[in-house]
Structure 1
Amino acid sequence: MRLNHLDFHVPDIAATADFFIRHFGLRLKDMRGNNGLAILEDDAGLEIVLSHAIAKFGTADQVELQRQTYHIGFILPERADVDRVHAGLVADGVAFSGPPAAMRGGWLFYCTAPGNILVEVGWRPG
């Protein structure tokens, strides 16, 4: 079994898609409607779906809730890659919980993507 996709409810689909495309190399597979739904894909075929919150489920997203109820993580092949991604995010004015640091046997940091999505970026020795 393989994880196929994740679906995140965000208020600004285009801004969130742009963040993951520019900083994490995801590709835009499909954009439906005018900022209505985006499907992003990584090199392994995992899809991240960005959509608006659904009315029948209360229309809440993490921006409206004003809290981060989950996070997603990216693992990079080299420790230097973590520092490189961090530098690119710093240049774009992204919010961080702190700089890259040694944590849980690896080198990582946390930042916030548009849509109030907490993102972990790390490297762990093989």
Structure 2
Amino acid sequence: MKLNHVNLTVTDVIAARAFLEKYFGLRTVGERGDAFAALFDDDGLVLTLMKGKQVSYPKTFHIGFAQESEEKVNEINQRLKEDGFDVAPPQRAHGWTFYVEAPGGFRVEVLA
């Protein structure tokens, strides 16, 4: 059985949607202004974003995007840095990985 739907409450649907499209290739398939967006990945995942006034995820909460290689992780890390995101270099942990705070109030892990 595979997980195929996740809903995130975010403070800024438009910024979170643009971030997920630009860096992780998700496609928006539906939206309601700045209150809701539904995004798909290439493997059938449906990720919905719903606007909330206050977002408070647990400290360790995150979503992850696995990459096919360490080089791809490095590339995404560099693009995020160039675009002004505060990201540490990837490091060896449970793979080659780093985390970034996404617009809207949630954390993303990128790993290979």
Q: Which residue of 2 aligns with 1:82?
A: 73
Contact 2:64 2:109 in 1 (8 A): yes
Question: Any gaps of 5 or more consecutive residues in structure 2?
Answer: none
Q: Which residue of 1 aligns with 2:48?
A: 49
Bigger-Rg structure (1/2): 1
Match for residue 61 of structure 2 among 57, 70, 73: 70
Question: Aligned partners of 1:50 and 1:68: how far apart in 2?
Answer: 19
Contact 1:26 1:41 in 2 (8 A): yes
Listed one character per residue, the Cα deviations across residues 23-50 of structure 1 (whole Å, up to 9, x for unaligned) are: 0011011112x21200011000101100
Question: Any gaps of 5 or more consecutive residues in structure 1?
Answer: 54-58
Distance 1:114 1:69, change over 3 A: same
> Sequence identity, in percent?
37
Distance 1:69 1:101, change over 3 A: closer
1:68 deviates by 3.9
Q: Which residue of 2 aligns with 1:117?
A: 106
Q: Give me the TM-score of the superposition, normalised by structure 2.
A: 0.91
Q: Which residue of 2 aligns with 1:101?
A: 91
Contact 1:110 1:119 in 2 (8 A): yes
Question: Aligned partners of 1:9 and 1:21: how far apart in 2?
Answer: 17
Report the aligned-residue RMSD. Answer: 1.6
